[in-house]
Amino acid sequence: MQIKTDRDARLGYWLILPTVIAVSGLIFYPIVYNLWLSLQEVNMNPVQPNTFVGLKHFTDVLTDTDFWRSFKTSLIFTSTTVVGTTLLGLGTALLLNRDFPGRSVIRGVILLPYVTPVISAVFGWKYLFDPVFGMANYFLVDILHLLPQHINWIESPAYAIYAVIIFNIWKNFPFAFLMILAELQSISANLYEAAEVDGASIWQQFRYITLPELKFVIGALVILRTIWNFYKFSEVYLLSSSVEVLPVYIYEKAFASYDFGQAAAISAILFVFVLGFIMFYVRKVLEW
């Protein structure tokens, strides 16, 4: 590549300079600073200097069983919520793509979980799943007798992960629904008419027309949701501190153990992992 140096080009550089400064200030600086932190034993007292420890944090993290347990929790959380939100969004979009009275009202109502502030939704769910007074326990135990005793769904480490997954799917499926519905509406009705003339069944129409048309929007939804949920902190931590996904693990390393260096190292490892996943996904699945 040749770098242009004529007058026009120079003016061009001046014009993009503000953007370059903004991008480097807001994106590259934090990344570099984080990498630099990950090589230091960070001293909490700003007056005292940090100690350079090289790759020690990285070896510590990669040999720490707590880290791998969090990693596993994160993988479970991310994969189930990505599949859950996408399928639920797809199903809802297909149903609401048909004509029926009150459709626009229902479409609006479906979006509610997505637009509700996290903290209010969290408190609602906490009461729903309350171990003593909650409706969930009342129905499952006292009315239907499906379980022998009341369970603390939200706080108990054994069950909290389910509560968090269900909550996340409920909260985020409207986004998938919205995207898929928009794409569905752009599919020409001619295609379905032609297929019907050829004698295609409903399933065949879905399999050979709807799905291929939706491929890219679903592909994009999956990758976005993966990135978002792999780094999801608020919805998990606010609902239950018992679910140690990686962002929560990093938070505790940094703000409960005051180990900023190690927290930075974990972030760097995650960065590489997610970047690798995105590259693979974009090439192999989306075939861009």
Contact footprint for another protein (CB under 8 A): 44-47, 131-132, 149-152, 155-158, 241-242, 252, 254-258, 260
Neighbours of 161 (CB within 10 A): 20
**Maximum Cα–Cα distance for the chain, whole Å?**
80
Rounded to the nearest 10 degrees, the angle between the axes of helix 211-230 and helix 65-96 is 150
Choose between 189 and 256: whose C-beta lies nearer to another protein. Answer: 256
Burial of residue 77 (number of CB atoms within 10 Å: 0-12, 13-18, 19+): buried
Which neighbouring-strand residues pair with 51? 41
Shortest distance, position 162 Cβ to another protein, whole Å: 15
Shortest distance, position 131 Cβ to another protein, whole Å: 4
Choose between 49 and 101: whose C-beta lies nearer to another protein. Answer: 49
Shortest distance, position 121 Cβ to another protein, whole Å: 19
Tell which residue, 244, 280, 251, has the closest CA to residue 267: 251
Tell which residue, 188, 261, 236, 202, has the closest CA to residue 76: 236
Instruction: Please state, in angstroms and as integers, the Cα–Cα distance from residue 69 to each residue in 63, 73, 98, following that order.
Output: 11, 6, 44
Choose between 91 and 131: whose C-beta lies nearer to another protein. Answer: 131
Shortest distance, position 37 Cβ to another protein, whole Å: 10
Structure tokens at 191: 């295609």
Shortest distance, position 84 Cβ to another protein, whole Å: 26
Which neighbouring-strand residues pair with 220? none
Choose between 151 and 164: whose C-beta lies nearer to another protein. Answer: 151
Instruction: Please state, in angstroms and as integers, the Cα–Cα distance from residue 88 to each residue in 92, 103, 166, 258, following that order.
Output: 6, 18, 12, 40
Shortest distance, position 45 Cβ to another protein, whole Å: 6
Shortest distance, position 172 Cβ to another protein, whole Å: 26
Choose between 230 and 237: whose C-beta lies nearer to another protein. Answer: 237
Choose between 79 and 241: whose C-beta lies nearer to another protein. Answer: 241
Tell which residue, 278, 226, 206, 197, has the closest CA to residue 84: 226
Choose between 80 and 242: whose C-beta lies nearer to another protein. Answer: 242
